[in-house]
Amino acid sequence: MTAIQFNNVSKTYGQGLKKQKVLHDLSLSIMTGEVFGFLGPNGAGKSTTIKLLLNFIRPDQGDIHVKQCRVGKDNYLHHIGYLPETPCFYENLTASEIMYFSGKISGLKQDQLKEQTQDILKRLKLDHAQSWQIGTYSKGMKQRLGLALALVHDPEIYILDEPMSGLDPMGRYLITDVILELKQRGKTVFFSSHILSDVEKLCNRIAILNKGKHLFSGAIDEILPQYGSNLEHAFMNIIQTDDRGKNG
Ligand SMILES: Nc1ncnc2c1ncn2[C@@H]1O[C@H](COP(=O)(O)OP(=O)(O)OP(=O)(O)O)[C@@H](O)[C@H]1O
Ligand SMILES: [Mg+2]
């Protein structure tokens, strides 16, 4: 079954002389239960695609579906846990308070929420800091708290915009481990990343975007023999070939 579907989606920012088309006719399917890596250089359009998927911005054309729901039309956000590229919080709240607030608006019951919060904060090694104001958190702690918020209502689909960004090796290990567990539980994870070794470890399939153009999607072992001996090599080859204009 398809969890996320993009059909011919394009997006332009700005107007007049400042008009810039940043996504060209993207069609992509992410299946239920797969961990899907979304790759591309800086400015390729990954966060734009994710914002379109969350209905924060609207496409020029095309449509996006999450399960049976059409983005912009149906109510689908309860299916989704989202980690933004730069998580922002009410800095004077504590981690427990923000988890409580987030779980409550997702409809969790009091005792369920308490248990979930404890489990998740422990898992992400934030339990010792749960009563600290978030303003006192380091960058990596905020990143892990962002993921904790995406997990609290135990949704089916996770949209994570660079989940490993700003993390130390232990933080990366923790997040990789959480994603692997989600995969084992049959959840769908769609995430962008620049850390190709993590992508290789986690993903069933990937897509590569460059300057808003969808260059490749498929299983990692489908690109390896053809474009390079490992994912990093293959990724560089695909992007450089496109930049030289050989892919049209
Ligand atoms: N609000 C905006 N207004 C105008 N242009 C924007 C806006 N947001 C993004 N862009 C432009 O759209 C293009 C794609 O940006 P986007 O943030 O989607 O890239 P990305 O693939 O997520 O990059 P990164 O890896 O650096 O996070 C870039 O050229 C960027 O400058
Ligand atoms: Mg981005």
Mean pLDDT of the chain, nearest integer: 95
pLDDT at position 246: 54
Report CA(212)–ligand 1 centroid distance (Å): 10
* Domain residue limits at 190: 2-86+158-243
231 part of a folded domain: yes
Q: Give tens-digit pLDDT for 103-140.
A: 998 889 988 899 899 999 999 999 999 999 999 999 99
Dist. CA 145–CA 139, nearest whole Å: 10
* For residue 222, pLDDT beyond 60: yes
Q: Is residue 92 part of a domain?
A: no
Q: Is residue 40 lining ligand 1, measured as CB closer than 6 Å?
A: yes
Render pLDDT for 14-56 as a digit per residue (tens, 0 to 9): 998 889 999 999 999 999 999 999 999 999 999 999 999 999 9
201 in a domain, yes or no?
A: yes
- Residue 197 within a domain: yes
218 occurs within a structural domain: yes
Best residue for ligand 1 mutational test, from 6, 47, 60 (most atoms within 8 Å of Cβ): 47
Residue 224 within any structural domain of the chain: yes
| 19 domain residue, yes or no | yes
pLDDT tens string 174-200? 999 999 999 999 999 999 999 999 999
CB 96 within 8 Å of CB 104: no
Number of domains in the chain: 1
Give the Cβ contact number of residue 107 at 10 Å.
Answer: 10
Asked whether residue 213 is assigned to any structural domain, the reply reads: yes
R_g of the chain computed on alpha carbons: 18
Could you say which ligand is closest to the alpha carbon of residue 160?
2
Mutational test site, ligand 1, from 23, 48, 51, max ligand atoms within 8 Å of CB: 48
Q: Which pTM value belongs to this model?
A: 0.95
